[in-house]
Amino acid sequence: MTWRHFQYHGFTKLIYFSTRLLSQKTLLTMPGMNERGALIVFEGCDKSGKSTQCSLLVENLNRCGVQAELVKFPDRTTEIGKMIDRYLQNACFIEDHAIHLLFAANRWEHMPSMTKRLKSGVTLVVDRYSFSGVAYSASKPGIELEWCRGPEKGLLQPDCVFYLTLNAQEAAMRGDYGTERYEQQDFQKKTASVFENLQDDSWKVIDAGKSVEELSAKIFEQAKDIVSSAKHRPLGYLWKEDP
Ligand code: T5A
Protein backbone atom coordinates (compact mmCIF):
# COMPACT_ATOMS: atom_id res chain seq x y z
CA MET A 1 0.00 0.00 0.00
CA THR A 2 1.37 3.38 -0.96
CA TRP A 3 1.46 6.30 1.46
CA ARG A 4 -1.33 7.94 -0.56
CA HIS A 5 -3.54 4.81 -0.25
CA PHE A 6 -2.85 4.61 3.49
CA GLN A 7 -3.82 8.28 3.89
CA TYR A 8 -7.05 7.78 1.88
CA HIS A 9 -8.20 4.59 3.67
CA GLY A 10 -7.19 5.92 7.09
CA PHE A 11 -9.22 9.06 6.52
CA THR A 12 -12.26 7.08 5.28
CA LYS A 13 -12.13 4.82 8.36
CA LEU A 14 -11.82 7.81 10.64
CA ILE A 15 -14.96 9.36 9.11
CA TYR A 16 -16.82 6.01 9.34
CA PHE A 17 -16.04 5.41 13.02
CA SER A 18 -16.69 9.04 14.03
CA THR A 19 -20.11 8.92 12.33
CA ARG A 20 -21.01 5.66 14.11
CA LEU A 21 -19.88 7.02 17.45
CA LEU A 22 -21.86 10.22 16.89
CA SER A 23 -25.03 8.38 15.90
CA GLN A 24 -24.76 6.09 18.95
CA LYS A 25 -24.24 9.06 21.22
CA THR A 26 -27.23 10.87 19.68
CA LEU A 27 -29.45 7.86 20.35
CA LEU A 28 -28.18 7.60 23.89
CA THR A 29 -28.72 11.24 24.72
CA MET A 30 -32.04 11.67 22.90
CA PRO A 31 -34.30 8.76 23.86
CA GLY A 32 -37.84 8.93 22.52
CA MET A 33 -36.98 11.65 20.01
CA ASN A 34 -40.49 11.47 18.51
CA GLU A 35 -42.29 11.84 21.82
CA ARG A 36 -44.11 15.13 22.30
CA GLY A 37 -44.71 17.02 25.51
CA ALA A 38 -48.16 17.41 27.06
CA LEU A 39 -50.22 20.61 27.04
CA ILE A 40 -51.61 21.00 30.55
CA VAL A 41 -53.88 23.97 31.25
CA PHE A 42 -55.03 25.44 34.56
CA GLU A 43 -58.31 27.33 34.69
CA GLY A 44 -60.47 28.82 37.39
CA CYS A 45 -61.78 32.07 38.77
CA ASP A 46 -59.50 34.81 40.09
CA LYS A 47 -57.39 33.83 43.14
CA SER A 48 -58.29 30.15 42.96
CA GLY A 49 -54.55 29.37 43.21
CA LYS A 50 -53.72 28.65 39.56
CA SER A 51 -50.34 30.43 39.46
CA THR A 52 -49.24 28.75 42.70
CA GLN A 53 -50.14 25.29 41.39
CA CYS A 54 -48.68 25.87 37.90
CA SER A 55 -45.27 26.76 39.34
CA LEU A 56 -45.31 23.79 41.71
CA LEU A 57 -46.27 21.40 38.91
CA VAL A 58 -43.41 22.63 36.69
CA GLU A 59 -40.99 22.14 39.62
CA ASN A 60 -42.31 18.66 40.43
CA LEU A 61 -42.20 17.50 36.80
CA ASN A 62 -38.67 18.80 36.29
CA ARG A 63 -37.57 17.13 39.51
CA CYS A 64 -38.77 13.72 38.25
CA GLY A 65 -37.00 14.16 34.90
CA VAL A 66 -39.90 15.48 32.79
CA GLN A 67 -38.86 18.62 30.91
CA ALA A 68 -41.60 21.15 31.70
CA GLU A 69 -42.01 24.89 31.20
CA LEU A 70 -44.52 27.49 32.37
CA VAL A 71 -46.63 29.61 30.00
CA LYS A 72 -48.96 32.31 31.31
CA PHE A 73 -51.91 34.05 29.65
CA PRO A 74 -52.30 36.88 29.33
CA ASP A 75 -48.60 37.34 28.56
CA ARG A 76 -48.40 40.98 29.56
CA THR A 77 -44.88 41.46 28.11
CA THR A 78 -45.75 41.54 24.38
CA GLU A 79 -47.12 44.67 22.62
CA ILE A 80 -50.62 43.13 22.69
CA GLY A 81 -50.07 42.02 26.29
CA LYS A 82 -49.16 45.56 27.35
CA MET A 83 -52.53 46.81 26.07
CA ILE A 84 -54.29 44.00 27.96
CA ASP A 85 -52.38 44.85 31.13
CA ARG A 86 -53.44 48.52 30.97
CA TYR A 87 -57.04 47.43 30.41
CA LEU A 88 -57.00 45.00 33.37
CA GLN A 89 -55.56 47.68 35.62
CA ASN A 90 -58.39 50.03 34.62
CA ALA A 91 -55.84 52.39 33.04
CA CYS A 92 -57.75 52.53 29.72
CA PHE A 93 -61.09 51.64 28.11
CA ILE A 94 -61.26 49.00 25.36
CA GLU A 95 -64.60 47.93 23.87
CA ASP A 96 -65.70 44.43 25.07
CA HIS A 97 -65.41 42.65 21.68
CA ALA A 98 -62.10 44.34 20.95
CA ILE A 99 -60.49 43.27 24.26
CA HIS A 100 -61.75 39.72 23.66
CA LEU A 101 -59.94 39.66 20.32
CA LEU A 102 -56.77 41.01 21.95
CA PHE A 103 -56.77 38.21 24.56
CA ALA A 104 -57.15 35.66 21.72
CA ALA A 105 -54.43 37.36 19.63
CA ASN A 106 -52.14 37.16 22.68
CA ARG A 107 -52.56 33.37 22.56
CA TRP A 108 -52.15 33.14 18.77
CA GLU A 109 -48.84 35.00 18.92
CA HIS A 110 -47.47 32.21 21.13
CA MET A 111 -48.68 29.26 19.02
CA PRO A 112 -45.53 28.82 16.87
CA SER A 113 -43.23 28.72 19.90
CA MET A 114 -45.60 26.50 21.91
CA THR A 115 -45.98 24.04 19.01
CA LYS A 116 -42.21 23.87 18.56
CA ARG A 117 -41.58 23.25 22.25
CA LEU A 118 -44.29 20.56 22.51
CA LYS A 119 -42.95 18.77 19.43
CA SER A 120 -39.45 18.81 20.91
CA GLY A 121 -40.76 16.92 23.95
CA VAL A 122 -41.27 19.77 26.41
CA THR A 123 -44.43 19.67 28.53
CA LEU A 124 -46.13 23.06 28.82
CA VAL A 125 -48.02 24.02 31.96
CA VAL A 126 -50.33 26.88 30.99
CA ASP A 127 -51.76 29.35 33.51
CA ARG A 128 -55.15 30.31 31.93
CA TYR A 129 -56.08 29.69 28.28
CA SER A 130 -58.98 30.03 25.83
CA PHE A 131 -61.54 28.92 28.42
CA SER A 132 -60.76 32.03 30.48
CA GLY A 133 -61.06 34.02 27.27
CA VAL A 134 -64.57 32.69 26.65
CA ALA A 135 -65.75 32.60 30.28
CA TYR A 136 -64.84 36.20 31.10
CA SER A 137 -66.11 37.75 27.84
CA ALA A 138 -69.32 35.69 27.70
CA SER A 139 -70.13 36.89 31.26
CA LYS A 140 -70.51 40.42 29.93
CA PRO A 141 -73.95 41.58 28.76
CA GLY A 142 -74.54 41.30 25.00
CA ILE A 143 -71.65 38.97 24.14
CA GLU A 144 -72.65 35.50 22.92
CA LEU A 145 -70.67 32.45 24.03
CA GLU A 146 -70.49 31.16 20.45
CA TRP A 147 -69.07 34.46 19.23
CA CYS A 148 -66.43 34.25 21.97
CA ARG A 149 -65.28 30.80 20.86
CA GLY A 150 -64.70 31.96 17.26
CA PRO A 151 -61.21 33.49 17.53
CA GLU A 152 -60.05 30.62 19.77
CA LYS A 153 -60.85 27.91 17.20
CA GLY A 154 -57.74 26.20 15.87
CA LEU A 155 -55.48 27.01 18.82
CA LEU A 156 -53.65 24.00 20.33
CA GLN A 157 -55.97 21.60 22.13
CA PRO A 158 -54.98 20.93 25.77
CA ASP A 159 -54.42 17.32 26.81
CA CYS A 160 -55.94 18.17 30.16
CA VAL A 161 -57.53 21.13 31.95
CA PHE A 162 -57.22 21.33 35.73
CA TYR A 163 -60.17 23.45 36.81
CA LEU A 164 -59.69 24.87 40.30
CA THR A 165 -62.99 25.65 42.02
CA LEU A 166 -63.32 28.08 44.89
CA ASN A 167 -66.40 30.02 45.85
CA ALA A 168 -66.33 33.76 45.27
CA GLN A 169 -66.41 34.64 49.01
CA GLU A 170 -63.37 32.47 49.81
CA ALA A 171 -61.51 33.81 46.77
CA ALA A 172 -62.21 37.39 47.87
CA MET A 173 -60.28 36.77 51.09
CA ARG A 174 -57.11 35.78 49.23
CA GLY A 175 -54.16 37.94 48.16
CA ASP A 176 -54.83 41.42 46.78
CA TYR A 177 -58.34 40.60 45.54
CA GLY A 178 -60.19 43.57 44.06
CA THR A 179 -57.28 45.42 42.50
CA GLU A 180 -58.03 44.35 38.89
CA ARG A 181 -61.00 44.91 36.59
CA TYR A 182 -62.82 41.54 36.91
CA GLU A 183 -62.22 40.94 40.64
CA GLN A 184 -65.82 41.43 41.78
CA GLN A 185 -67.79 38.60 43.38
CA ASP A 186 -70.95 38.87 41.19
CA PHE A 187 -68.91 38.84 37.99
CA GLN A 188 -66.81 35.90 39.24
CA LYS A 189 -70.00 33.88 39.90
CA LYS A 190 -71.03 34.42 36.27
CA THR A 191 -67.64 33.33 34.94
CA ALA A 192 -67.81 30.18 37.10
CA SER A 193 -71.11 29.21 35.49
CA VAL A 194 -69.69 29.73 31.97
CA PHE A 195 -66.61 27.65 32.87
CA GLU A 196 -68.99 24.84 33.85
CA ASN A 197 -70.60 24.95 30.37
CA LEU A 198 -67.21 24.58 28.69
CA GLN A 199 -66.14 21.40 30.48
CA ASP A 200 -65.50 18.16 28.58
CA ASP A 201 -63.84 14.81 29.35
CA SER A 202 -60.37 16.36 29.42
CA TRP A 203 -61.27 18.50 32.48
CA LYS A 204 -60.34 17.53 36.02
CA VAL A 205 -62.26 19.49 38.63
CA ILE A 206 -60.17 20.21 41.72
CA ASP A 207 -61.50 21.64 45.01
CA ALA A 208 -59.11 24.59 45.45
CA GLY A 209 -60.13 25.12 49.11
CA LYS A 210 -57.55 22.53 50.24
CA SER A 211 -53.99 23.31 51.34
CA VAL A 212 -51.35 24.22 48.73
CA GLU A 213 -49.38 21.03 49.49
CA GLU A 214 -52.39 18.71 49.33
CA LEU A 215 -53.44 20.19 45.99
CA SER A 216 -50.00 20.03 44.42
CA ALA A 217 -49.51 16.36 45.41
CA LYS A 218 -52.88 15.41 43.91
CA ILE A 219 -52.28 17.38 40.70
CA PHE A 220 -48.76 15.98 40.27
CA GLU A 221 -50.05 12.38 40.48
CA GLN A 222 -52.60 13.03 37.74
CA ALA A 223 -50.18 15.06 35.60
CA LYS A 224 -47.68 12.19 35.39
CA ASP A 225 -50.32 10.02 33.66
CA ILE A 226 -51.26 12.87 31.32
CA VAL A 227 -47.61 13.33 30.26
CA SER A 228 -47.26 9.58 29.54
CA SER A 229 -50.46 9.26 27.55
CA ALA A 230 -49.78 12.39 25.45
CA LYS A 231 -46.35 11.20 24.22
CA HIS A 232 -47.53 9.51 21.01
CA ARG A 233 -50.89 11.24 20.48
CA PRO A 234 -50.89 13.82 17.67
CA LEU A 235 -51.44 17.44 18.65
CA GLY A 236 -55.08 18.47 18.48
CA TYR A 237 -56.78 21.77 17.68
CA LEU A 238 -59.38 23.49 19.80
CA TRP A 239 -63.07 23.47 18.79
CA LYS A 240 -62.08 22.74 15.17
CA GLU A 241 -64.83 20.15 14.52
CA ASP A 242 -67.60 22.23 16.06
CA PRO A 243 -70.20 23.71 13.69
N1 T5A B 1 -58.71 37.04 31.42
C2 T5A B 1 -57.65 36.22 31.22
C3 T5A B 1 -59.65 37.29 30.41
O4 T5A B 1 -60.62 38.04 30.59
N5 T5A B 1 -59.48 36.69 29.20
C6 T5A B 1 -58.42 35.84 28.95
O7 T5A B 1 -58.30 35.32 27.82
C8 T5A B 1 -57.47 35.62 30.00
C9 T5A B 1 -56.29 34.71 29.76
C10 T5A B 1 -55.99 38.41 34.67
C11 T5A B 1 -57.44 38.59 34.36
O12 T5A B 1 -57.64 38.46 32.97
C13 T5A B 1 -58.85 37.73 32.73
C14 T5A B 1 -58.97 36.83 33.92
C15 T5A B 1 -58.37 37.63 35.04
O16 T5A B 1 -59.39 38.40 35.67
P17 T5A B 1 -54.31 36.64 35.52
O18 T5A B 1 -53.15 37.44 35.07
O19 T5A B 1 -54.23 35.15 35.43
O20 T5A B 1 -55.62 37.08 34.71
O21 T5A B 1 -54.67 37.05 37.00
P22 T5A B 1 -53.79 36.79 38.25
O23 T5A B 1 -54.13 37.91 39.15
O24 T5A B 1 -52.39 36.51 37.94
O25 T5A B 1 -54.28 35.42 38.73
P26 T5A B 1 -55.45 35.17 39.66
O27 T5A B 1 -55.93 36.41 40.26
O28 T5A B 1 -56.46 34.40 38.94
O29 T5A B 1 -54.79 34.29 40.83
P30 T5A B 1 -54.43 32.74 40.82
O31 T5A B 1 -53.31 32.51 39.89
O32 T5A B 1 -55.62 31.90 40.65
O33 T5A B 1 -53.98 32.51 42.32
P34 T5A B 1 -52.53 32.59 42.98
O35 T5A B 1 -51.85 31.31 42.87
O36 T5A B 1 -51.85 33.82 42.48
O37 T5A B 1 -52.96 32.77 44.50
C38 T5A B 1 -53.73 33.89 44.93
C39 T5A B 1 -53.51 34.08 46.44
O40 T5A B 1 -54.02 32.95 47.15
C41 T5A B 1 -52.99 32.29 47.89
C42 T5A B 1 -51.67 32.77 47.29
O43 T5A B 1 -50.64 32.74 48.23
C44 T5A B 1 -52.03 34.19 46.86
O45 T5A B 1 -51.95 35.07 47.93
N46 T5A B 1 -53.22 30.85 47.74
C47 T5A B 1 -53.80 30.08 48.67
N48 T5A B 1 -54.27 30.36 49.91
C49 T5A B 1 -54.83 29.32 50.59
N50 T5A B 1 -54.92 28.04 50.12
C51 T5A B 1 -54.44 27.72 48.91
N52 T5A B 1 -54.54 26.48 48.45
C53 T5A B 1 -53.85 28.78 48.12
N54 T5A B 1 -53.32 28.81 46.88
C55 T5A B 1 -52.94 30.08 46.66
Closest CA to 52 of 208, 224, 227: 208
For ligand 1, say whether the CB of 212 is within 6 Å of any of its atoms.
yes
The pLDDT of residue 171:
93
Rounded distance between C-alpha atoms, residue 180 and residue 157, angstroms: 28
Cα torsion 26, 30, 32, 37 to 10°: value is: -150
Contact call for residues 198 and 134 (beta carbons, < 8 A): yes
Mutate to test the pocket of ligand 1, among 43, 50, 145, 163 (most ligand atoms within 8 A of CB): 50
Per-residue pLDDT tens digits of the chain, which is 243 residues long: 555 555 556 555 554 555 444 443 333 334 467 899 999 999 999 999 999 999 999 999 999 999 999 999 999 999 999 999 999 999 999 999 999 999 999 999 999 999 999 999 999 999 999 999 999 999 999 999 999 999 999 999 999 999 999 998 999 999 889 999 999 999 999 999 999 999 999 999 999 999 999 999 999 999 999 999 999 999 999 998 744
Q: Separation of 29 CA from ligand 1 center, angstroms?
A: 38
Mutate to test the pocket of ligand 1, among 41, 43, 48, 52 (most ligand atoms within 8 A of CB): 52
CA-based max dimension of the chain: 91
The pLDDT of residue 22:
43
